[in-house]
Amino acid sequence: MIYSKIAGTGSYIPEHILTNQDLEKIVETNDAWIQSRTGIRQRHVRAENQLTSDLALLAAQRAMAAAVVTPSDVDLLIVATTTPDMVFPSTACFLQAKLGMTGGAAFDVQAVCTGFVYALAIADKFIRSGGSKCALVVGAETFTNLLDWDDRNTCVLFGDGAGAVVLRPSDAPGIYSTHLHSDGRYANKLFVPGSVCGGKATGSPTVKMDGGSVFRFAVKVLDQVCREALEANHLNVSEVDWLVPHQANIRIIESTALKMGIDKSRVIVTVGDHGNTSAASIPLALDLAVRDGRIKPGQPVLLAGVGGGFTWGSALIRM
């Protein structure tokens, strides 16, 4: 039996920091409201010339260095993003060129904030089937491109960043299971209603969100999808060392931990420093906790995401 295993992690966040105090000067909001309702203190914003593939490049290079693989080893490259460099080609193809890769398959996955979990699940299936010997899976976003800086309901929530993992085949897990879900009936709760038609951008290119509905749905399904993963693997919640949830709002994260009976000390939280980086949030949080020594080799870790679509999903892994 072939399993896939994470051989290395990496991440990158742009240098420029936008604090809540900075936002107070742009829109009618205040630090106390943002912190108490979301847990966010600051977010990182791309430099003017930085594209999603540039953020992805630095995260990918760090993950490859940690896994001790070169671009020519990689035969599958998946980028999860909601903010591609262009309509096409895929951001994965731009990243492939920036890495100096000329072989393998490269494509994007679009599942908004659940995108990294979706991409990881796909790469896991490639590796398990023998279709890939070395997969690079990236979550990268320049989500601030999609913000209306006059809309305080959304512009305070998001930031830019990238995270990546390298997956290699292994005799033992690795990735125990992935569970993916979506329900398109909720498309209008969190969306960007813009498109390109007849050579012109049409509609609105900024995020629209029914925050309350997203909040309630997220709290419900994150708990459900985590329990689904544990049950599928006959594990008790106490047997998982870490929960790495999507980083949208500290209240969503804490409610999920409470419902599951996981102590806060076993939950990786980066939302305060990064805001919601959409598809980048889970691999970014994972990499930070690996590098600061909290997440150690051999430990079981539960990844869980939820986002526009709605989409939601989990991956139960052993590091």
181 part of the active site = no
Q: Which of 20, 93, 113, 134 is catalytic?
A: 113
Q: Which of 20, 93, 179, 246 is catalytic?
A: 246
Stretch touching ligand UT7 by CB under 6 A, among 70-78, 99-107, 214-222, 255-263: 214-222
Q: Give the one residue of 17, 24, 31, 33 binding ligand UT7; rule: CB under 6 A.
A: 33
Binding mask 249-278 for ligand UT7 (x = CB under 6 A): x--------------------------x--
113 part of the active site = yes
Q: Is 247 exposed, middle or buried (0-12, 13-18, 19+ CB in 10 A)?
A: buried
Helix axes 211-232, 250-260, angle to 10 degrees: 40
With respect to ligand UT7, which residue has the nearer C-beta, 178 or 255? 255
Q: Give the one residue of 248, 284, 303, 316 binding ligand UT7; rule: CB under 6 A.
A: 248
With respect to ligand UT7, which residue has the nearer C-beta, 5 or 246? 246
With respect to ligand UT7, which residue has the nearer C-beta, 57 or 248? 248
CB 313 within 8 A of CB 117: yes
Q: How do strand 135-142 and strand 242-245 relate by DSSP bridges?
A: unpaired
Cα–Cα dist 281/269, whole Å? 10
Cα–Cα dist 107/122, whole Å? 11
Q: With binding defined as CB under 6 A, does residue 38 bind ligand UT7?
A: yes
Beta sheet of 311-318, edge-to-edge order: 175-182, 311-318, 300-307, 242-245
Q: Which residue in 21, 286, 29, 278 sits closest to 158, CA to CA?
A: 278
Give how many residues touch ligand UT7 by CB under 6 A: 20
Cis-peptide, bond into residue 174, ω within 30° of zero: yes
Binding mask 102-141 for ligand UT7 (x = CB under 6 A): -----------x----------------------------
Minimum distance of ligand UT7 from residue 242's CB (angstroms): 20
Residue 148 host element (H or E): none
Sign of CA dihedral 82, 85, 88, 92: negative
Cα–Cα dist 225/221, whole Å? 6
Stretch touching ligand UT7 by CB under 6 A, among 26-34, 72-80, 84-92, 173-181: 26-34
246 part of the active site = yes
Of 298-317, binders to ligand UT7 (CB under 6 A) are 307
CB 92 within 8 A of CB 108: yes
> 234 CB contacts (<8 Å, ≥6 apart)?
none
Q: Give the one residue of 214, 219, 262, 267 binding ligand UT7; rule: CB under 6 A.
A: 214
Stretch touching ligand UT7 by CB under 6 A, among 121-129, 165-173, 208-216, 262-270: 208-216
With respect to ligand UT7, which residue has the nearer C-beta, 178 or 276? 276
Q: Give me the active site residues, please.
A: 113, 246, 276
Site of interaction with ligand UT7 (CB under 6 A): 29, 33-34, 37-38, 113, 152-153, 156, 190, 209, 211-212, 214-215, 218, 248-249, 276, 307
